Amino acid sequence: WEDDPGQALDDLAVGINALWSPDRLGGFAIITNPYTLAVEPEPVAILRDGQHGVLVQVRHLRSREQVHNSVTVIVERTDGLAPIRVTARDTDPVSPTYWAGSFGKQNETVKTQIPLTRAAATLVAQRRLAQSLALARSWSITMPPGIGQVLDPGDLVAVLYRGEVTAQVIESIRYAKDAGSTVVADLRQFRTITTLPEE
């Protein structure tokens, strides 16, 4: 806490599968991490290109960088018992990041001393995996201030761009300073992980 208060708050949020982020009013909000959801929630907005659309500019990236298709969570026990260890993997054979496919095997190991049960560690592994896989497709979207000013980090939006509809989570947003400027949101694809991690 003394060295990095921000990281300390992030660590606390990880333990309850939550996110904290600045809000539009200059404070901070704590929200449930959308990647912990087993089903896709209703989008708070639909953003589309073309006629009557609100997308001014879209930058879509596909990347392998920092993408892991397996996450192992190790919970260190303070009672001297063996650590709890759970692994979640992308087991969808049609996924471009499938564990046994051409993407390869990229595992991330997360160690924590937060006292988690096996079920809670499972949720952390699934959430970390979903967030990591979502990095494979990310967007930066520029919008006019009208719709953009009511969106917040953590919101899920539906984006219709070049004939493809994707569910995306807003990671960060830079609001318009006045009516003549634009809103820029950074987003990544919403992914759910429904399979249970390996024991």
Judge contact between 89 and 99, C-beta under 8 A: yes
Give the pLDDT band of residue 99 (cuts 50, 70, 90).
very high
Give the pLDDT band of residue 197 (cuts 50, 70, 90).
very low
Question: What is the C-alpha R_g of the chain?
Answer: 18
Residues 105-123: tens digit of each pLDDT: 999 999 887 878 888 888 8
The whole model's pTM is what? 0.70
Residue-level pLDDT at 68: 92
Residue-level pLDDT at 162: 86
Query: Higher confidence at residue 169 or residue 10?
Result: 169
